[in-house]
Amino acid sequence: MALVEQIGEEGGVRRYRLKNPVTLEPIGEFVAAGSDDVRSAVERARKAQKEWAKLSFDQRAEYLWRLVDVIVERQDEIIDCVIAETGKTRNEAVSMEVMAPCLQISHYAKRARKYLATQKRPASGMLRFSKKITLVYKPLGVVGLITPWNGPVVLTANPLAQALMAGNAVVHKPSEVTPLSALVLKDLTEAAGFPEDLYQVIQGDGETGAALVSAGVDKVSFTGSVATGRKVGEACGRRLIPVTLELGGKDAMIVCADADLDRAADGAVRGSCFNTGHYCCGTERVYVPEEIYGPFVEKVVDQMKTLKQSDTGDCDVGAVFWDKQMDILCDHLADATAKGAKVLVGGGRNASLPGYFFEPTVVTDVNHDMELMKSETFGPIVAIQKVKDEEEAIRLANDSEYGLSGNVWTTDLEKGVAIGERVETGSVSVNDISVTYGIAEAPFGGVKSSGVGQVNGETGIRGYCHTHPIIVDTSKKAQGGYPYTIEGANGMQKFVKRLFGNRFLRKLVV
Ligand code: NAD
């Protein structure tokens, strides 16, 4: 049974019905916006942005502080809506969709002024005597924000806060799997007194997302799968607009022989099962040297067996948010077992519950011929591969088309950092599950197929701006100019030879 079902199409208008993944009861309907609706939303946003950009950082921040007040006051509305749409646990709804957004919005309300302060400085080297540089961080205009279903509020609130504090307006296309949470957030921004049309939500499917990309926006902030990311990247390339692509991953966990095994086993379980495994930086592959393999697997198995699932909300591992994801989990597991993998815990859909629950699962004897170790699985599965040593673990961790994040476990912290440097991913954690996205000032983004560009912190918020250099000539007289003479060109050549022909002077003048 489809949780997101198209129930009609009339005159190009597509209507969808949503179902709760835990109860399978209908929870709402929505209509996908057409390209004309999207275009007019962008035009309205452009008008709102002009006024918004005139405000000071403190004035913009005041709106964000009010939004945090409203989120804190009305957090149950977010929690109830996210749980109804996704079936995630209450703990995860609070930590991921309320606490993290409060932290991120507050971070940019407080720090955007510093991150985006106009900078004035002399040019470097010999130009310092005649040129002064003023760097102004100018807003881009209207940002098209396209988001996935696994963190409907957090993955919206974070880019929204950055785009707004940088002086932009935002038109948001949430996932068709979780469109209602976006409406709750929109409602909260209205309660916080946001100017009309500054943040707009357009409901819809992939077609609506594509329409937003070509509706005249000045930047696209996209979070989602690699396949869609490629399409969005191509469309932005054709329009010559900037884009950040935050895409899928296949994060590896490297357990060193000297790791604290209790802590590492706990990390494997949390990293794989958090948010039902629907976490872009979730642990998808675990590499363990043979000398600690037995005890490590035993600890993981013991802990995985204790994880509860229920349809009452009081559980450790919630529902699978989307029926299509359930199919992927079952396919990857079937492929792995057909190729020799062993299932030690769980192993399929939880038949004791009516909703879309997948049992917390431990699989061993896996290898890189299996989809489970190659493609993004995005479910509560701990897949453990025995390796000879740490070197083999690093080699296998890097044997992936993805490069989002990953984690290294060792009691030798310097070694952890050294291994972290060798892992070919956008970020890495030592002795923790991948937490980079939650550390507001850490630039976050994937390498290889996991993305283009970085979000968050100073780097991320500057991505919502054009860095506009204004160069002022402070010399008393005009420099150079017409008429050209051969003597002038000869003089320049001598100057180049004298200055750049000498290594000492070369360093002095730049
Ligand atoms: P998806 O790519 O299917 O959809 C993402 C969004 O794109 C949705 O809103 C969808 O409607 C829209 N869309 C679909 N086709 C489009 C098109 N042609 N043009 C424009 N928009 C279009 O991804 P999903 O299944 O919703 O999300 C899960 C994926 O997101 C996973 O791969 C996960 O790893 C990834 N993700 C990445 C990060 C990160 O920060 N790197 C964070 C969360 C999720």
CATH number, domain with residue 297: 3.40.309.10
d(CA 469, CA 62): 28
Residues 235 and 260 in one domain: no
- Establish whether residue 144 lines the binding site of ligand 1, counting it when its CB lies within 6 angstroms of any ligand atom: no
Greatest alpha-carbon pair distance for the chain in Å reads 91
Q: Is 475 within the bounds of a domain?
A: no
* Domain assignment present for 446: no
Query: What pLDDT does 312 receive?
Result: 86
Which amino acid residue places its CA nearest to atom 14 of ligand 1? 206
404 Cβ closer than 6 Å to some ligand 1 atom: yes
**What's the pLDDT at 169?**
99
Verify that 272 and 227 share a domain, yes or no. Answer: no
In ligand 1, the atom with minimum distance to the C-alpha of 148 is 26
CB 213 near ligand 1, within 6 Å: yes
User: 0.95 cut: is pTM over it?
Assistant: yes
Same domain, 269 and 367: yes
152 Cβ closer than 6 Å to some ligand 1 atom: no
Residues 361 and 230 in one domain: no
Alpha carbon nearest to ligand 1 atom 8, residue: 175
Please indicate, yes or no, whether residues 242 and 264 belong to a single structural domain of this protein: no
Best mutation site among 205, 225, 323, 439 for ligand 1 pocket (most ligand atoms within 8 Å of CB): 225
For residue 451, being part of any structural domain is answered with no
- Predicted local confidence at residue 258, as pLDDT: 98
The CATH number assigned to the domain holding 50 equals: 3.40.605.10
State both tokens at 403. 């490069």
Q: Does residue 122 have a cis peptide bond before it, meaning omega lies within 30 degrees of 0?
A: no
Our answer on whether the CB atom of 225 is closer than 6 Å to any ligand 1 atom is: yes
Indicate whether 452 belongs to any domain: no
Domain count, the chain: 3
How many Å apart are CA 357 and CA 352, to the nearest integer?
9
| Ligand 1 atom showing the smallest separation from residue 246 Cα | 41
DSSP H or E run through 232 = helix 226-239
Judge whether 281 counts as a catalytic residue. Answer: no
In ligand 1, the atom with minimum distance to the C-alpha of 235 is 19
User: What is d(CA 12, CA 5) in angstroms, rounded to the nearest whole number?
Assistant: 16
- Buried residues in 472-487 as b, exposed as e (16+ CB within 10 A): eeeeeeeeeeeeeeee
- How many CB atoms sit inside 10 A of residue 494's CB? 10
Decide: 179 in ligand 1 pocket, CB within 6 A. no
Ligand 1 centre to CA of 225 (Å) is 4
CB 364 within 8 A of CB 297: yes
Integer Cα distance of 152 and 443 in angstroms: 21
Is 330 noted as a catalytic residue in this protein? no
Q: Do 163 and 62 reside in the same domain of the chain?
A: yes
Domain-embedded: residue 499: yes
Phi, psi of 441 (to 5 degrees): -85, -5
pLDDT in single tens digits along all 510 residues of the chain: 899 999 999 888 999 999 999 999 999 999 999 999 999 999 999 999 999 999 999 999 999 999 999 999 999 999 999 999 999 999 999 999 999 999 999 999 999 999 999 999 999 998 999 999 999 999 999 999 999 999 999 999 999 999 999 999 999 999 999 999 999 999 999 999 999 999 999 999 999 999 999 999 999 999 999 999 999 999 999 999 999 999 999 999 999 999 999 999 999 999 999 999 999 999 999 999 999 999 999 999 999 999 999 998 789 999 999 999 999 999 999 999 999 999 999 999 999 999 999 999 999 999 999 999 999 999 999 999 999 999 999 999 999 999 999 999 999 999 999 999 999 999 999 999 999 999 999 999 999 999 999 999 999 999 999 999 999 999 988 877 899 999 999 999 999 999 999 999 999 999
Rounded Cα–Cα distance for residues 143 and 455 (Å): 14
> Which numbered atom of ligand 1 lies nearest the CA of 227?
2
Catalytic residue among 85, 246, 359, 390: 246
Measured by CA distance, the residue closest to atom 12 of ligand 1 is 206
Same domain, 319 and 184: no
Mutate to test the pocket of ligand 1, among 85, 205, 276, 280 (most ligand atoms within 8 A of CB): 280
Residue whose CA is at the smallest distance from ligand 1 atom 33: 248
Q: Is residue 206 part of a domain?
A: yes
By DSSP bridging, strand 451-452 and strand 243-246 are antiparallel
Residues paired with residue 258 on neighbouring β-strands, in sequence order: none
Shared domain check, 409 and 489: no
Q: Is 258 found in the same domain as 388? A: yes
Statement to judge: residues 190 and 100 lie in one domain = yes
Is 181 contained in some domain?
Answer: yes
Atom of ligand 1 nearest to the CA of 446: 41
Calculate the CA 200 to chain-centre distance: 20
- 265 and 225 belong to one structural domain: no
212's CB contacts (< 8 A; 6+ apart) are: 38, 42, 144, 146, 171, 173, 202, 220
Which one-letter DSSP state was computed for residue 477?
S
Structural domain boundaries, residue 122? 4-247+457-467
For residues 353 and 309, is the Cβ–Cβ distance under 8 A?
yes
- Whether residue 478 lies inside any domain: the answer is no
* Whether residues 283 and 237 fall in one domain: no
- Burial category of 458 from C-beta neighbours within 10 Å (exposed 0-12, middle 13-18, buried 19 and up): middle
